[in-house]
Structure 1
């Protein structure tokens, strides 16, 4: 029974999305307006006072594929053991071994499809704005060049009180990665599971 619980947990994990430490869910995307005017940075409906921005940067969020590969290998080994045991026990029945083999083949196909989907996941890039030691992920995109250009425009606007611009950018909505607080008072680093 304990082996079945472990097997089920591995299957559930493989069927879940895998970014960073199983922490990303990108549910949809939207085009938002990023603009600067009157010393305020607007990212969609969020407003940041330009004089209070201490840092603007882009960060990469690369899918962590190693846990997916590790779980895949463990599950394939368990599936092979269960299949061999099932075929051995049911070989005397008319269709028992055939049914066990068919179910195992379907599970193996699902596992391979999930592994392929993990390897096809793209790297996301985030525009991070720091205000008074607190970091805010302002937007998430696949286009690193667009985010770098936007970061430079924001930094230029901090230095130039008359600066104004407006751009539309595709933003991916959801939670990506871990929530990490690494600056200022109350620094706890990464809170893991």
Structure 2
């Protein structure tokens, strides 16, 4: 992954796909796809419910432990309210997060490389160049991904072996 403000190079050179410093032989690629990765809203909701339940249990324990203190019993614990508001803000932010454009490159060995950019069109162009290079052995190209074009920076994530998930 490049340093902030740096450049990530995606290139095909001598039948090898280079994504940053990772190299993939073109004949081992099984999937090249530019798509939008949708947020897991169900998992976000379950996480929210879990944290809300844990907060509720903690609140009940605090109230039970401070039974002799009338201020806590009458006014409640303001930290509970602050935590619930923070949890709700986080949940709403995650719930309305837009789909993230990704370029997924998968190999026959189970490795997966993921590159993100602000738009799917840019990723489709790169995917088309990779597919063209697979079908035409003489083809070579280089694309540069600047971190300045994306508020989060381009992300390169590689998973292999038994890890089948994408974590961006």
TM-score normalised by L of structure 1:
0.58
Report the 3-state secondary structure (helix = DSSP H, G, I; strand = E; otherwise coil) of the residue aligned with 1:134. coil
Report the 3-state secondary structure (helix = DSSP H, G, I; strand = E; otherwise coil) of the residue aligned with 1:179. coil
Name the CA distance, whole Å, in 2 between partners of 1:175 and 1:39.
20
1:63 equivalent in alignment to 2:39: yes
1:157 equivalent in alignment to 2:133: yes
1:128 equivalent in structure 2: 104
Instruction: Decide whether the 8 Å contact of 2:114 with 2:157 is kept in 1.
Output: no
Change (3 A) 1:131 1:31: same
1:138 Cα offset (Å): 4.3
Over the aligned positions, Cα root-mean-square deviation in angstroms equals: 3.6
1:144 Cα offset (Å): 1.8
1:119 Cα offset (Å): 2.1
Name the CA distance, whole Å, in 1 between partners of 2:134 and 2:58.
62
1:35 equivalent in structure 2: 11
Report the 3-state secondary structure (helix = DSSP H, G, I; strand = E; otherwise coil) of the residue aligned with 1:35. strand
**Structure 2 portions without partners, runs of 5+:** 148-153
Aligned residues: 150
Report the 3-state secondary structure (helix = DSSP H, G, I; strand = E; otherwise coil) of the residue aligned with 2:139. coil
- After the TM superposition, which of the residue ranges 68-77 and 103-112 deviates more from structure 2? 68-77
1:144 equivalent in alignment to 2:120: yes
